[in-house]
Every structure is written in structure tokens, then in C-alpha cells.
Amino acid sequence: MTLRSTGPGRTTSVPGVDPSGVDLSTRLGNLELPNPVLTASGCAAAGRELHHFVPVDTLGAVVTKSIMLAPRSGRATPRMVETASGMLNSIGLQGPGIDHFLAHDLPWLRARGARAVVSIAGGSIEEYAELARRLRGAGTLAAVEVNISCPNVEDRGQVFACNRAAAAAVLHAVRRATDPGTPVLAKLSPDVTDLVDIAEGCVEAGADGLSMINTTLGLAIDPVTMRPALAGVTGGLSGPAIRPIAMRCVWQVHRALPDVPILGMGGLRTGLDVLEMVLAGASAVSVGTAVFHDPSAPTRILAELRTALAERGIERLTDVVGHAHRPPDEVEPVESDHGNGWC
């Protein structure tokens, strides 16, 4: 039984619902998903390895590793290092390029019934546009995720996602080159002064939704060599350490742009983590670093989310997207029997 607060010191009993009856379907723009759990770009490649543990067609979608026009070897090793609550990576967008992806990876995903959200990355606006054109000719995609947290070679190595005008220019070019029926998601970086401003620029330029957040910049020193642990010195921090940052970013952007769908990510490990991000404003989530130590994490997290919603008497996931933004006098906070606290 679940307890619902009706005021200070007063509660009423609210029956939970049958977990099997919970509707986990959701939407990102015009993209309909059977459930809200996707992979995170870069953490499951194109799904082949993960498929041994989690059938890719059972996921909301597979978000591929960011694809570039040409093959790329990535940065020098070492390029990954564990931290106390996550990991740093400096992979450098290693990949086989768009030709290999279209010939091998995309057909593999389609053959297994997976919904493919293809992440793209480029060093110039034209590269992004060309990638979008190539994907348009490849047939139906679930969505295109535009990774704008890449070096902008047209602006002396700056990052597109750190400048409203640059971010908007990329999204405008990709939106024009992408099939009108395919949602375009802008992947945002937390390492900016005004995230809402960047988000607004991307939406005005044609983004149908937002993926947030990318990793945040970090550094680790090896006490043995007394040098940076990564060959590239700095790297992207992911894992549980960044979850509060991701939650803050999703909260801020949803509050400013409540009608724009958000694909939330950053340190999600459990169903309750996902519920928290949905309450902050995410319509769906990507699970990334967790799969490195638990390849079955997406399936486990989805089951935990279903149970968490059922315990709270929630029949549809979409009913609680952004729920935490509602004024206190308009909601009845729900307390779980299991001591999970107020949500």
C-alpha cells in the first residue's frame, strides 16, 4: 500500500497498481517509444555487444556511437580511467565512418527490429549537414542526435555547444538536410554559462528535442607517474558523480522550455534514478556508464522503474514527466511503503 500526503501530519492510503499494467510508452517529438530507456551514445557502439545481454529490440531505442564522415582512430592511450564515482574518457570519437555504418551497423540494427537513433558528429557545419544528407538517403531512422560537443575546427577548436550561434547554425543545417519526419535532437554540454540560452537557440534553429547532458570535463593525476592519467590530459567525466548536475540541467531547461521533449542522461543506475529525472522533466533517458559494469542494466532499470511507478499508483509514465515542477498546493506527494522518501 502507498501513502499519499493530504496535508501536514495527514495521509490517506492509495492502492498501488499492478506493475504489468503500467504504461511505459513515451514520446520524443513525433517519435513514439514503447519505453523510456535508451542506450547512451558511445557506451554500446551500435548494439552488437550489448545484444548478448539485452535484446536491442526491447530497448526504447539504441543511440549509436557518434558517427563521423571519415574513419577516425581516436586519441592516444591511455584514454580511460576510473574515478571514485564514475570514469573519465578521452576516446576522441573513434569510429569506422559513415560508409561502414551504413553498410554494416544500420542494417544490423534494422534486422533485429531495433529503433535506431543515430548520433552524428563533425568538425564543421558542412560535415554535419553532409552526414544528415547521407542518413536521409538510408531510409527510416527513429531520430538523429546531433552531438555538438565536438571540436569546432571552423572556430579555432572551440566547442559548438558552448556558443548559441554556433550550436544553432549546426542544428539549422542538420534540420534542413534531414527528412522532415525524422526528429532531430541536439546533444548539449553542461560546461556552459547559460544552458537555457543554448537550448533555446537550438530549438529556434529547428531541433525537435534535446539530449542532455554530455560528459563534463574532468582530470585525474596518476600518483605513480605524477602525471595526468589520460594521454589527452582532460577527459569527459560520466557516471554517478554527474547525476546531480544532469538533474539540475534537465530541471532548468524543462522549466524554461516545458513543451520541448528531453532525453535525459548522466549517471543513471536505477529505476528510481530514472524516475527522478522524469520528474525533473525528461520524457526518456539514456543509460551509459552503468552498462560497463552491468551489461544488463537497461533491462534491470526498466523493471525497477515499472515497480517504482506501480508502488506510487502511477499508471502512465507520461503523467509524471516534469511532475516536480508543479506548485506544492497542486500536487499530493506520494510516499512509498519502502521508505524511498517523497517524490
Q: How far is residue 54's CA from residue 303's CA, in Å, rounded to a whole number?
A: 13
Backbone angles phi, psi at 221, to 5 degrees: -110, 130
DSSP letter assigned to residue 225:
T
Q: How far is residue 232's CA from residue 253's CA, in Å, rounded to a whole number?
A: 31
Q: Tell me the residue length of the chain.
A: 343
Residues 6+ apart with CB under 8 A from 286: 38, 39, 40, 41, 63, 211, 263, 264, 265, 268
Q: How far is residue 63's CA from residue 69's CA, in Å, rounded to a whole number?
A: 18
Residue 297: which of 285, 279, 281 has the closest Cα? 285
Residue 242 in grid coordinates: 554527474
First to last CA, the chain: 16
CB 24 within 8 A of CB 306: yes
Residue 150 appears among annotated catalytic residues: yes
| Look-up of cell digits 551514445 | 41
Q: How far is residue 102's CA from residue 130's CA, in Å, rounded to a whole number?
A: 14
Whether the link from the prior residue into 228 is cis, omega within 30° of 0, is no
Among candidate residues 150, 162, 202, 249, the one labeled active-site is 150
Q: How far is CA 209 from CA 29, 157, 260, 261, in A?
A: 7, 26, 6, 5
CB 82 within 8 A of CB 26: no
Q: 3-36 burial, b if ≥16 CB within 10 A, otherwise e?
A: eeeeeeeeeeeeebbeeeebebebbbbebebebb
Catalytic center residues: 150
